[in-house]
Amino acid sequence: MNIKKYTTLAFVLGCVSMAVLSASCTDAFDEINTNPNTVPYEMMLRDNLITGSAIGQLENYCVTTDANQYQRMFNLAGDIYAGYFGGTNTWNNNNNGIQYVMYPEWYNVAFEVGYESIMAAWRVVDLVKEEEPQAFALAQILKVFGMHKITDMYGPIPYSQFGKSETSVPYDSQEAIYNLFFTELTDAINVLTEFVQLYPGSYPLKNYDAIYQGDYNKWIKFANTLKLRLAMRIVYADEPKAKQYAEEAVNHPAGLLSDNTDNAFYPVPQRNPLNEIWDAYQDARMGGTIACYLNGFGDPRREVYFSLPAGTTTWNGVRSGTTYSTNNLTNYRNRAALPNVGPNDPIQWMTAAESYFLKAEGALRGWNMGDAPKDLYEQGIRVSFDQRGVAASYAAYVANTTATPANLSPAIVSADAYTYSPANTITIGWDDADDFERKLERIITQKYLAIFPDGQEAWSEFRRTGYPRVIPVRFNRSPANTINTAIQIRRLVFPTTEYDKNNAEVLKAVELIGGADHGGINLWWDKKN
């Protein structure tokens, strides 16, 4: 590699923008004179400025910290589709993604963030991977973490050919993308494992890594846990492969995220975007589904996750897909429980509790997860309770075999009330006499309560397993009834920008998912329902 081609980080970043999805501008590097007022490339490489800055951007956008992006990418999609939150605004006159009207101003955003921010930053490290293989390994982990959310929203996406074409960019099938995810994670884990063995106590990216301060031991655990998450995602599409990768992740010598000191949180640079959404925008309140579970179970995490508005005494949730008028909108905002997310709270990426629930499901399927399903399930609850500061309630909670989810109260608008039919009878306490499906529902339900507020992951797990039982939208306005209210929304549609700028390839992607592009189409791994 000719290092004289690279003069400043800004130029490198500029050459990997989504505008071209390619590295074609590298042809001009030789013609650019070195600016004496910029930092020479050699110094940037030595001080990790190039890779460090790119790693910093990757971390900033894997779960975007921009409130407007976060709202449209997560809060008005997975967060609501999973029943964690209810939107409290009249966007587009109540014709929007909450009621299953695909709204380009919303569904385009995740794709834009994925390529203009995540993949663009990854491409910077990709260009110097020979000089800094460990930094590239970390970039690979971050890329997979960020982009698995994107493919789990849309299905096929451009991935393997990113940066290789000057005009159009082919899409990969989701199966092919997941195969690459596993290869990339496995290779990255191997590179970092070798590095920490050769250089224990070395943290070359300490000044740039906001998650683990350059501790590659932690990143190996994170990558193993992510690998286990993705392995479980494909279990209904390819169970042998799911088992293979799950067992690889669990039995790796470094292990998984195993206690709350391993948890991955991103410290917000200015303000937590979810706080800005519910507090400044007044656009989000407690969701109806999570209200049913927290209220019915008497779950002590309820007071950690939410708070009561002034003058109220009941924990009201907002049903997804309702319709707002000027009067009832005020009632929703003033009477539904408030997200207990402060402006300086970090953004949760992944926690140890999730790893135990993943292992519990694997053990339930007969895989080598190191322990019995019951023990792993209860450990997941214990770690979650410890994380949320309610450990004193753990013993009574796991011993509770009678509490079941509540029905949705009509306390705000009577027509929003919802009664589960058949009755939602899932309980907390483990029962070895239960059949496979009831045990699975119990595991996923408690995982749902533990990983809050990661609605994107909760939505993916609901689509994969059917659990927990998410309350359906009150009003389904999907075009031509393309989304089944009972089954609920399965994906976002491809961005309008792709039809404008990458038309031939996005049309091929549509063929990969059956020839139509709407929210009722199951993704590749979504085989159960």
Cβ atoms of residues 142 and 59 within 8 Å? yes
Under DSSP, is residue 69 helix (H, G, I), strand (E, B) or coil? helix
Enter the DSSP assignment of 45. Answer: H
SS3 content of the chain, % helix, strand, coil (to 5): 50, 5, 45
Contacts of 327 (CB under 8 A, 6+ apart): none
Q: pLDDT value at position 250?
A: 98
Identify which of 179, 233, 226, 252 has the alpha carbon closest to the alpha carbon of residue 361.
233
Distances (CA, A) of 143 to 48, 62, 137, 236, 426: 19, 8, 10, 24, 37
- Which pLDDT value is given to residue 188? 98
pLDDT tens-digit series, residues 29-54: 233 333 434 444 444 445 578 899 99
First and final C-alpha spacing in the chain: 50
Q: Could you report the per-residue pLDDT of 292-318, keeping only the tens digit for each?
A: 999 999 999 999 999 999 999 999 999
d(CA 306, CA 123): 39
Distance of CA 122 to the CA centre of its chain: 18
Class of domain 3-271+344-465: mainly alpha
- Residue 39: the pLDDT is 41
Backbone angles phi and psi of 318, in degrees to 5: -100, 125
Q: Are 514 and 521 in contact (CB under 8 A)?
A: yes
- Which band of pLDDT confidence, cut at 50, 70 and 90, is reported for residue 64? very high
| Averaged pLDDT score across all residues of the chain | 91
Q: CB of 439 within 8 A of CB of 373?
A: yes
Alpha helices per DSSP H over 63-173: 67-70, 78-81, 91-94, 104-107, 109-113, 120-126, 133-154
* 274 has a pLDDT exceeding 50: yes
pLDDT recorded at residue 46: 52
Residue 11: the pLDDT is 34
Q: What is the mean pLDDT of residues 361-378?
A: 98
What average pLDDT does range 120-126 have in this prediction? 96
Percent of the chain with pLDDT strictly greater than 70 = 91
pLDDT exceeds cutoff 70 at 195: yes
Query: What is the rounded average pLDDT of the residues 408-424?
Result: 91
Judged against a pLDDT cut of 50, whether residue 324 lies above it is answered with yes
State yes or no: pLDDT of 288 exceeds 50.
Answer: yes
| Continuous segment of H or E residues that includes residue 338 | strand 338-339
199-252 residue pLDDT tens: 999 999 999 999 999 999 999 999 999 999 999 999 999 999 999 999 999 999
Residue at 503: amino acid letter: N
Selection from 384, 386, 313 nearest residue 353 by Cα? 384
Q: What is the pLDDT of residues 178-191, one digit of tens each?
A: 999 999 999 999 99
Unique residue bearing structure tokens 């039995």? 251
| Confidence (pLDDT) at 438 | 98
Within 13 Å of residue 329, how many CA atoms lie on the same side as its CB?
14
